[in-house]
Amino acid sequence: MEIQIQHNNQLIKRCKKGDKSAQYTVYKKYYKAMYNTAFRIVNNSFDAEDIMQESFLSAFTKLDSFNETVTFGAWLKRIVINNSLTALKKINKFDTVPLEKVIINEAKEEILDYSLLKVDDILEKISQLKSNYKVAITLNLIEGYDYKEIAQIMDISYENSRATVSRAKNKLRQLLSQ
């Protein structure tokens, strides 16, 4: 693990100096994960590819602002997520509802056996959610962000992020129980 971290740090230093082979090595190492992150948010392979390319270009041009207190992969993922959300807003897919207009009904949760579900089935059901639900649940369940981080990323209040994730989970449960 220590050797891997040193290797990554050396690659990033070479990238800062404009070494094209180091940039290509970093690209090959992270492109698939960054594409998947973008795709889960925008749900379009062409847009995800563009976002991933723009994110790498942005990362390589802004390497001087990279702070080594976080891993390069986490820093790059944040750029990809921000670019994905910007792309969603540009194409007007991102629906937001003010928290004041939302009525939250407490419902008894049915106990279902989810152990028989396949990952592809769950991802397919997530892709059927409204775009703001899809983004919120992807950031929470797949990317591992907490409510505070989701609020910052989506530029909404903490309470709204909790409510959005909760509603997204409820809607996903409904889709999975069908």
| Chain centroid, CA 169 distance in Å | 16
* Token digits of residue 111: 């106990």
Q: Is the pTM of this model over 0.85?
A: no
Q: How many residues does the chain have?
A: 178
Q: Which residue has the tokens 């230093």?
A: 13
* Token digits of residue 12: 């990033």
Q: Catalogue the long-range contacts made by 50-56 (C-beta closer than 8 Å, 24 or more residues apart).
A: 50/87, 51/80, 51/83, 51/84, 51/87, 52/80, 54/83, 55/79, 55/80, 55/83, 56/27, 56/30, 56/31
**What pLDDT tens digit does each residue of the chain (178 aa) get?**
455 555 778 888 888 888 899 999 999 999 999 999 999 888 888 999 999 999 999 999 998 888 878 888 989 999 999 999 888 887 654 455 566 665 656 555 555 666 777 888 888 888 888 888 988 999 998 888 999 998 888 888 888 889 999 999 999 888 888 7
Q: Which domains does the chain have, with CATH numbers?
A: 2-90 (1.10.1740.10), 99-177 (1.10.10.10)
149 CB burial (10 A radius; 0-12, 13-18, 19+): middle
Residue 177 identity? S
